[in-house]
Structures are given as C-alpha cells and as structure tokens.
Amino acid sequence: MIVSTPLDPHETKTPLAHAGPSDETASRVRVTRETLLWLGIGAVAGLTRLWALGSAPLNDAEAALALQSLALAGHASPMATAFASTSPANPLFSATQAIWMSIFGATDATARWLSALAGVALCLLPALLRREIGPARGLAFGGLLALSPTLWFIARQSDGALLAWTLAFGMWCVWSTNARAEMGWLLAGLLLACGADAVTPALTVAAALAAGNAFSRLRINATGALIAAGACAIGATGFGLRLSGLGDMFNGYAMWFAELTGAPLPEPGAGLWILPALRGAAGFVLYEPLIWIGAITGGAVLVLRRSAQHGSSNAPRSRDARVLRGAMRGAMRGATPWPAWAGAGFGLWLLTQSRTADGLAPVVIGCAALATIAVERILTELADRRQWASIAAVAGISAIMLVYGFIGALFYAGQGAVTWLLTGLIALVMVGGIAIVAGMTLNTQSALAGVGIAAGICLLLYTLSAGVQLTQTRPDNPAEPYNVRATLPGVHDLRNALGDVSARASGEPLAISIELPESAPASLKWAVRDWQRATITSQPGAAETLLTPMGATIQTDYTYIGSEFRIASTASIRSAGCDDRSGQFNCYPLARWLILRNLDGSAIPTQTRWVLWLRQDVARRYSGR
C-alpha cells in the first residue's frame, strides 16, 4: 500500500495510514519489498556501470590519471615514471586508484572501477532520504539516477569527479536529514581530500544547504572538525602512504581557481556555441528527457498542489494570480534544495567552461529529485484501483502514438525528409487529443496519469537506449555530445599489434623496445605501459619500434616499415543545425544528429592517426624471415 508522504522535507509529515496490518507488521512488509526494490536499483546501477568496463580504450584524460596512479603505486614502467613528477589534482582518487590497481592489476577496466563503484553508490544514496521524502520518492529517485545516461556515462569514465559528487551528495543527505552528523563530517573530510574535484561539489552543496536553510542545523564542533581533518588527511595521503598528497589537495584547489580565472573569454560572433559547455548542455537535453521533463512536471505538480491548498475554485481572477504567485513562492521554499542543486551545479559548470559531462551530475540529481514528485503523483492516482482500467487504456493508446511518432522520426530522419518533424508533431497532437477526450469522459487526473505513464514508459525506453548507445554500442562516436574527444578501438589494436610483434620477433610479448615522442597522447602512453623498454624521447629513431604521428618525419639511420592506426576522433557539432543556403529550409543535418547521432558533410569527424614503425630487422623476424 502506498502511503501518503510529505511533499518536501520541510512540510509536516502526515502519519502513516493504519488500514490493513498492524504498524509493526506493515513496516516489516514495506521494508522487505522496499529492500528488494533497492537491491534491484543496485543491480541495475551495477550492471550498467560495471558491465564491460574495459571494452573501450581509455581516453587521454583517463589514461593520464591512470598513469599518474601507477606512478604513485610505484610501478616501475617508464611510462608511469614519466608521470611521477606530476601532482594529482584529486589525491584521494589517485591514491585509491593506485591501491586498486596494485591489487587488481593495471587494465582499462580496473582503471575505471573506482568511478563505477562511486556511481553505483550514488544511485543508492537516496535511501538515506527515504524518511524525509518517503519510500516511493526515494525509490524513484534511486531508479532515475541508476538509469540516467549522464551518470551512467560519467561512472564509466575513470575520473575523480564522480567520487567527489558521490561524497558531496552523501554528505548533503546526512546533514539535511539531521542523521549522524559524524558521518557527515567524515564524508566532508573525504570530499576535501578530492582536491580540485572537491570545489564545485562543495560549493553546490553549500548552495543547497543555504537554500534549504540547513546551515543553522549544522553542529560545528571540535569533534566534527577533528573527524573531518582526520578523514581529509587519511584520504589525501592515501592512508598515510604518501604525505605529499596533502599538498596535492591544496594544489588542486589552486588549480581549480586558476582554471576559473584563466579560462579564455568566448570569442564574439561564435554563435550559439560560444560556450564549450553548451555542447554538454545539448547532451543533457538529448539524453535526459525523462529527468528534465519529469522535473518540469514535478515542479508543476508541486505548484498546483500548493495553489489548491491556498486558494478556492471560486476565487476571482486577481486573487487567482496572487494565489498562484504565493503558491510558487511556497513551492520554491519547500523544494529549493533541488533547484539549488541543479542551478548551482549548472551555473558553476558554465562558469568553469567545463567540457566534460561530470559537471552535469548535480543537474541530474536536482532534476531527478524534482521528477520524483511527478512519479509520486502518478502513483497516488494509481492507488485508486477503480481508475486502473481507464488509466491503462489511456496509457496504452498514448504509448502507441508516441512510439509511432518516434519510429517515424527515426525512419524519416535517416532519409533526410522533413517528414520526420511531422510524425512527431502528429503523435503529440494525437496524444493531446486522447488526453482531452479521456479527461472529459473519465477525469482529468486519471487522463493525465495515463498520458504520464505512457510518456514515462516511452521516455524510459528512450533513456535506456540512449544510455546503451552512449556507453556500449558507440562509445567512440565523437558526435555524441559527451564524447568531446573519443578514443577509438585502434588503441587496443595497436597494443595487440605491439604484443604480437614482440612475441613473434623476440619470443616475449613485452620485450620489444619502443620509442615514442613527448607529444604522444596519454592514451598511447597508457597502451604501452607494460613495456619496460618503452622510452619517451624528443628524437625517436633508434628503437626496434617507433610510434609517431601520421606525417611526422624521423631522422634515423635505420629503415622502418609502418602501419597506421586510428587513435582518436573529434567532431564539432556546430554544423548539426538547420540551414537555408540552398533556398530550402533544410534540417537534415540536425535530424541525423538528433536521431542517429551522425554527422556528415563538413562535419565529418577528424581522426587522429598514429603510425607504428617496425625496424626492418624486426619486421623480418616478425614475418619469419
């Protein structure tokens, strides 16, 4: 049985309904079902985030982090040694990753495990809020986070930012619910140990606490400060293994500020894409319609509910307007932590001109929380079993219309016809009509619930497909807004080729000597991390194998034979828009990009190619001659 729960943490909680079993029995039954559902959310989160983590090669940023962690772990390879003098921006993440890779080995998958586990934990944190927002909203919250393609994508990137966001969200959950303040201080200390990655989450949480007027409830005492300081010190130093991590933590703060103040101003006249962050924002709109539509709907539900509580149906028009304004203010006061999460997070993301998707985590969190209000409203309607049939009918028909519209868009977008726009419009009009008719014949709320369920299911399916596409089927597609610089499977091919050459030419897979220039991307350096005879040099030209960018000239006394590998791909999505150059309004590029994530024409992705050179004698040994 679904219990009526408070709309927001600041409202007086309504007592649990007592129809049916006794309180104790009911709570045991509720907990058991709820626990199973939470386990299910955990399973979904785990599956989406941990499955085939090593299928795509590490990109440059991930590789640089991983090599830095390898150096911290004392790995003796030349590639790791080259990163030994760099200062980790997130010492907690780097130290933990170093320990992790020391235990489980240095692979693409193990490099990403830490972020993935943090991502799973993030999805389960809403359980801490269940007493405040209710079990249903809590479950919905966790489910939305688990299915979010943005969080899904971020969790599968080796990056300390998600660890920081998880710690920040956990800290906020503990403090805003007044539960176990010591845990909150512990998490705060660990968050501080995240260095540069800690600043944006800390500022976002501060904004959320301020919006929710929770600062006054924080008990700042010596015990808390000591717990935080201890956790910070232990986290930053990697459990005391690397004292200089403390300095790296502070240096991370300085780096965040330096990037903020040193970020170049956008060039005038650059049009819509003046801010690099807008690419990511477009991605959020594309990948998270379930969440942002749900957030808008949830906000509307909240406002309407407040207005219903404050005013009467016979109130004159001017009084209606006043009531509505008052209701909106009231709604804002009640739910301000979540808009604060989204607003502060997005604002900081724009301010830092970030190009990575991890800055969108607070936006997802904030919007998902608001979306749970809509979910709860729908579930409330479903509580009345008399309406199930009509709701199901409306939902079924609406779902069919929406699926029709989506398939039509998919079909026609691929052909380039403008019809793809019409099919979507027709579908929406049809759904709207069904809602109106159902509203007249049934009741408005049931009709809206039916439409909402249909939309929700369709958006859910869309979200799932977007997430799978982004992370599994096409992780190397640079047309995906979050893939600013996609690393191609060619890196894995190159690594395998090197291993093969080494084994056949020298009898051992890691024995061959490799030279690569200082300008080699981190993803390549990571690829050759296991080779003890790999050297970074300003003048490659003497080793058994060389890696050079395509078109580079080498000064050498030897003869080399080369094979090309595609390493990375970048694409600008600026051209994915409508134009009327030919006299006709043509949205074909936009359609293809929106629906299929394809770019063509002048926006064909630029691929970075590197050449693996085999010295002639090595090539002979490799070929058996």
Partner 1 sequence: MLEILVWYVWLQAFSLGGWLIASRWLRGLPDRGYGASKALGLLLGGFAYWWIVTARLSANNTGAALMALAVLFGAGIALWQLDQRRATDASRARLVLWPARSSVIVTEALFAAGLFLWAAYRAYNPDILEAGGEKFMEIMMLNAILRSPAFPPNDAWLSGFSISYYYFGYVILAMLTRLSGLASTVAFNLGNATFFALTLAGAYSLGWNLANTQHSPLSTPKATVAGLLTALMLAVMGNMGGFMEAARCAGVTPDAFWTWLDVRQIAAQQVECNGLAPTRYYWWWDWSRVVHDYTPDGRDQEVITESPAFSFLLGDNHPHVMGLPFALVAIALALSLYHRPSLPPRFGSLAGLPPLALSAIVVGGLAFMNTWDFPVYGALAIGGLLLGRLLRRETLGPALLFSAAMLALGYGAYLPFYATFASQAAGIGINLFNGTRWPQFVLMFAPFLVIGLAFIALTTHRISRATQTPIVALLGRAAGLTLLALLGALAGVTVIGLISPQLREIFTQVMQEGGSVFGVTREIALQRLALRLSDPWVPLALLACAALCVALILTALSASPAASEGTTNTGRPDLFVLLLLLGGALLTAAVEFVFVRDMFGTRMNTVFKFYYQAWTVWAVAGGFALTSLFGARGMWPKLAGILSGLLIAGGLLYPLFTMQSRTDGFSRRPTLDGAAYLKTTRPDDAAAIAWLNTNVTGAPVIAEAPADRYAAYSYHGRISAFTGLPTLLGWGGHQHQWRGNYTEPARREPLIETLFNSTDARASRAVLDEFNVRYVIVGPPERNRYSAEGLAKFERLGQPVFQSGSTIIYQIAPGPTRTQP
- Which spans of this chain sit near partner 1 (rule: CB under 8 A)? 78, 82, 85, 87, 222, 243-244, 246-255, 258, 535-539
CB of 247 to partner 1, least distance (A): 2
Beta strand 514-517 with 545-549: parallel, antiparallel or unpaired? parallel
CB of 68 to partner 1, least distance (A): 13
What sign for the dihedral angle of Cα 288, 294, 297, 298?
A: negative
67 class by beta-carbon count within 10 Å (0-12 exposed, 13-18 middle, 19+ buried): buried
Q: Is 87 left (phi over 0), alpha (psi -120 to 50) or beta?
A: beta
- Which of 262/624 has CB closer to partner 1? 262
- Which of 537/570 has CB closer to partner 1? 537
What letter represents residue 165's amino acid? W
Closest CA to 173 of 341, 12, 48, 295: 341
- Which of 259/320 has CB closer to partner 1? 259
CB of 81 to partner 1, least distance (A): 8
CB of 101 to partner 1, least distance (A): 22
CB of 248 to partner 1, least distance (A): 6
- Which of 218/403 has CB closer to partner 1? 218
| 331 backbone dihedrals φ, ψ, rounded to 5° | -65, -40
Say which residues have a Cβ less than 8 Å from residue 585's Cβ, sequence separation at least 6.
418, 578
- Which of 252/334 has CB closer to partner 1? 252
* Dist CA 383 CA 377 (whole Å): 10
What the block records as the tokens of 528 is 């050759």
The alpha carbon torsion through 351, 355, 359, 364 (nearest 10 deg) reads 110
CB of 554 to partner 1, least distance (A): 13
CB of 99 to partner 1, least distance (A): 19
CB of 163 to partner 1, least distance (A): 19
Hunting for tokens 């300081």 — which residue is that? 229
* Dist CA 262 CA 142 (whole Å): 37
Helix (H) or strand (E) holding 577: none
The residues that bridge with 537 in the sheet, in sequence order, are: 517
- Which of 1/254 has CB closer to partner 1? 254
- Which of 192/394 has CB closer to partner 1? 192
CB of 531 to partner 1, least distance (A): 15
- 500, 186 Cβ separation under 8 angstroms: no
- Which of 34/259 has CB closer to partner 1? 259
- Which of 155/520 has CB closer to partner 1? 520
Q: Is 164 left (phi over 0), alpha (psi -120 to 50) or beta?
A: alpha
Count the neighbouring beta carbons within 10 Å of the beta carbon of residue 91: 31
CB of 245 to partner 1, least distance (A): 8
- Which of 126/238 has CB closer to partner 1? 238
- 381, 445 Cβ separation under 8 angstroms: yes
CB of 246 to partner 1, least distance (A): 5
- Which of 359/540 has CB closer to partner 1? 540
CB of 538 to partner 1, least distance (A): 6
Starting from the edge strand earliest in sequence, which strands make up the sheet with 514-517, in order? 486-487, 560-570, 606-615, 545-549, 514-517, 534-537
CB of 174 to partner 1, least distance (A): 24
How many C-alpha atoms does 349 have within 13 Å on its Cβ side? 24
- Which of 240/432 has CB closer to partner 1? 240
- Which of 213/539 has CB closer to partner 1? 539
- Which of 87/556 has CB closer to partner 1? 87
| 264 backbone dihedrals φ, ψ, rounded to 5° | -70, 145
| 193 backbone dihedrals φ, ψ, rounded to 5° | -70, -5
CB of 581 to partner 1, least distance (A): 42
Count the neighbouring beta carbons within 10 Å of the beta carbon of residue 134: 22
* Dist CA 618 CA 565 (whole Å): 19
3-state secondary structure 482-533: CCCCEECCHHHHHHHHHHHHHHHHHCCCCCCCEEEECCCCHHHHHHCCCCCC
581 class by beta-carbon count within 10 Å (0-12 exposed, 13-18 middle, 19+ buried): exposed
